Structure 1
Amino acid sequence: MTPAGGDGARTTPVRRPTIKDIARRAGVSESAVSFALNGRPGVSQGTRDRIRRMAEELGWEPNSAARALSGERSGCVGLVLARPARTLGVESFFLQLVSGVQEVLADRKVALLFQVVEDIETECAVYRRWWAEKRVDGVLVVDPRAHDPRPELLASLDLPAVVIGAPAPGEDTPHVSSVWADDTAAMASVLAHLHELGHRRIVHVAGMPGLAHTERRIRSLRTEAARLGFDGSRSVTTDYSDAEGAEATRRILDEPDPPTAIVFDNDVMAVAGSAVAAERGIPVPGRLSIVAWDDSALCRVIHPRLTALVRDTSGFGRLAAQELLDRLDGGPVRSIQAELPHLEPRESTGPPATL
């Protein structure tokens, strides 16, 4: 038999307070408690205040499932990420984005339900399940892509949504709001910087193919390269991981006429590319200039420090979360452009060695 004290003592699990507990403490009926906590008429203001005070003292919180059954909000929004899980631990973008989202949701005491899945089909299945179970009041949608089935599905479910990122060209999303940054203009600013330094052979190590922002950056590189007269500039796609970023860099540097500059679609790949250059004895920026798409602490602590596109990613998340809350409060569908990322030149870019 377990003794009543010491390390082996059993503890009684803390039981969640119920409406019955509040009624007993306040000396009223359970129906009166229900009326008071749900803001319905039928009790005096004094009784309502006493019941709410007792509920707060007991630490009572409304049950989300019960609220959903009664037609009330669940107090939760969802975010599903259809990407390889292995890429999440090394990329800072989503951590900063979610921190901004959570900052806004916390102020409104709204929870964030987050799930990682393998593909878009599974993501759509999650939305259907959340809708059927009334698990979430709305969703944040990331990584818009060409022929994206998600906006139409969410519209058919009447589930409020905000897409983080612009839709693919020619694909309107009239039923969902969007918050986006101008990737086309951002890429143009990178190429303008490299062109001014004298670079003409540039390769873009892009992210996942099919994503709207990946395709937009690829098109911008192609358009600006033609306009500026770059030779052999192109894009290669990856999964955003350091491993694929490093492997792509090795292939690029093994070419007979390698580029004088590489633009990487995130900070992790840029750091991996810099490491590949170092292991091959290629000085940066003496023989190879490197640009990272998203700035982070990694870009600022590596030597040489990496030239990077800087934006307030947490602010991007805050903007998206606020737009979703506005939609839940009855606001209109909108398309909101976030602040344009600006290029911060550092030690990883300089004139090519031929100059």
Structure 2
Amino acid sequence: MGHAQRATIADVARRAGVSKGLVSFALNNRSGVAPETRTRILAAASELGWSPSVRGRSLSVGRAFACGLVIGRSPDVIAADPFFPAFIAGLEDAFSVSGQALVLAVATPGRHEAETYRGLAADRRVDGVILTDLRVDDPRISLVAELGLSAVTLGVPGGPSPFSSVCSDDGVGIRLAVEHLAGLGHRDIAHVAGPAELLHAARRRTAFDVAAAELGLRSTVVETDFSAADGARATATLLGAAEPPTAIVYSNDSMALAGMGVAQQRGLSVPRDLSITGFDDTEMGRHVHPSLTSVATDVRGWGAIAARTLLVAVAGGAAEHITLPDPRLVIRASTCPPLDTATSAASLEGD
């Protein structure tokens, strides 16, 4: 076969020694193909450099072979939040091997967002969508269902939903952070939270409030839009209080790193004067000084699982609800006992 000639399903079938129909089943991830046969077919396709003709497949089966992700946040917040690049990488990990295209759109929540979904559904530009940043009484659930699109939600919606979901218990991570700080001796802590209308931000805040109350801590919450700039603002507000906290639990790493900068600009030492925890365990947080204690989640893995779950839904599979492993707390150098506790301990040792 010349280098300019595109490998076909027939070529793959000859190389694997099977029928074209079996190749089609294997390449479209359909049932009815023995595991060893599927492996042989995929190996043959890889050796020949076969890639799907999206236009041809779309015409033959009436599908777009594309999935959509509409992010309902401001571009500035998205640009500064490392969650989305990692999540999108996970989506591509799964979509690239199945011949799917990812259609990405950024839209202002509300009418513009609804129009974006309607535009994606028109002329079958996408077969399904992934719904992120679920909200209280989220109108997108009924809208996407009415548009006839398959969908997967990140998190469990607050109301009825016909769609599959992939969720992680964010509250577990926040509780771990609060328990860690309380175990170090902190009695006055704060939470820099995300927008209350987002379910995952609200669940993190609830987890913080419950854990702080159970442990008998004095607690304060400041709401933000999840951006680093708003995280810095919230930190300045907390540190300017008559009785500032000795530790702050942030709802993402971007805000935690911004908060660390605010504290250091005020002449505070992290963690001696202020302990800080983040959420998402981003690469940047591991390399700053002091390195950031953070709640770790597998964002890229979450994206890959969400993509695969959506492909099952697009193929007509029943709705399924997948719960990912609980987040874990990675303890680094940005947390330590509060200064008064450390001083008391040193005094006792001296005695």
Q: 1:185 to 1:332 in 2, by over 3 A?
A: same
Mapping for residues 109-148 of structure 1, pairs under 5 Å: 109-148=99-138
Give the superposition deviation at 1:152. Answer: 1.3
The counterpart of 1:223, out of the listed 197, 204, 210, is 210
Match of 1:26 in 2: none
Mapping for residues 250-329 of structure 1, pairs under 5 Å: 250-329=236-315
The DSSP-based 3-state class of the residue aligned with 1:354 is helix
* Alignment check: 8 A CA contact 1:307 1:347 kept: yes
Percent identity between matched residues is: 39
The DSSP-based 3-state class of the residue aligned with 1:89 is helix
Question: What is the distance in 2 between the residues matched to 1:204 and 1:172?
Answer: 30
Question: What is the distance in 2 between the residues matched to 1:62 and 1:216?
Answer: 40
The DSSP-based 3-state class of the residue aligned with 1:255 is coil
Amino acid at match of 1:304: P
Mapping for residues 50-69 of structure 1, pairs under 5 Å: 61-63=53-55, 67=58
| 1:172 counterpart = 2:160 | yes
Q: 1:283 to 1:121 in 2, by over 3 A?
A: same
The DSSP-based 3-state class of the residue aligned with 2:249 is strand
- Structure 1 portions without partners, runs of 5+: 1-16, 18-37, 40-55
Q: 1:302 to 1:60 in 2, by over 3 A?
A: closer
Question: What is the distance in 1 between the residues matched to 2:328 and 2:315?
Answer: 33
The counterpart of 1:154, out of the listed 119, 125, 144, is 144
Amino acid at match of 2:76: R
| 1:242 counterpart = 2:252 | no
The DSSP-based 3-state class of the residue aligned with 1:88 is helix
Give the superposition deviation at 1:71. Answer: 5.3
- Structure 2 portions without partners, runs of 5+: 6-23, 26-47, 342-351
Q: Aligned residues, how many?
A: 302
Structure-1-length-normalised TM-score = 0.80
Residue deviations 1:241-297 (CA, integer Å, cap 9, x gap): 221111111111000000010011111111111111111111111110000011112
Amino acid at match of 1:184: G
Give the superposition deviation at 1:60. Answer: 9.5
Give the superposition deviation at 1:62. Answer: 5.0
Match of 1:96 in 2: 86
Amino acid at match of 1:219: T
Counting helix residues as a fraction of each chain, which structure ranks higher? 2
Structure-2-length-normalised TM-score = 0.80
Give the superposition deviation at 1:209. Answer: 2.6
Match of 1:53 in 2: none
Larger Rg: 1
Q: 1:324 to 1:277 in 2, by over 3 A?
A: same
Give the superposition deviation at 1:228. Answer: 0.9
| 1:106 counterpart = 2:96 | yes
Give the CA RMSD over aligned residues: 2.6
Residue deviations 1:39-82 (CA, integer Å, cap 9, x gap): 9xxxxxxxxxxxxxxxx99x994537x936x6511110000001
Question: What is the distance in 2 between the residues matched to 1:238 and 1:226?
Answer: 22
The counterpart of 1:333, out of the listed 319, 324, 343, is 319
Q: 1:160 to 1:270 in 2, by over 3 A?
A: same
Residue deviations 1:123-165 (CA, integer Å, cap 9, x gap): 2221122212210011011000101011111222221100112
Amino acid at match of 1:67: S
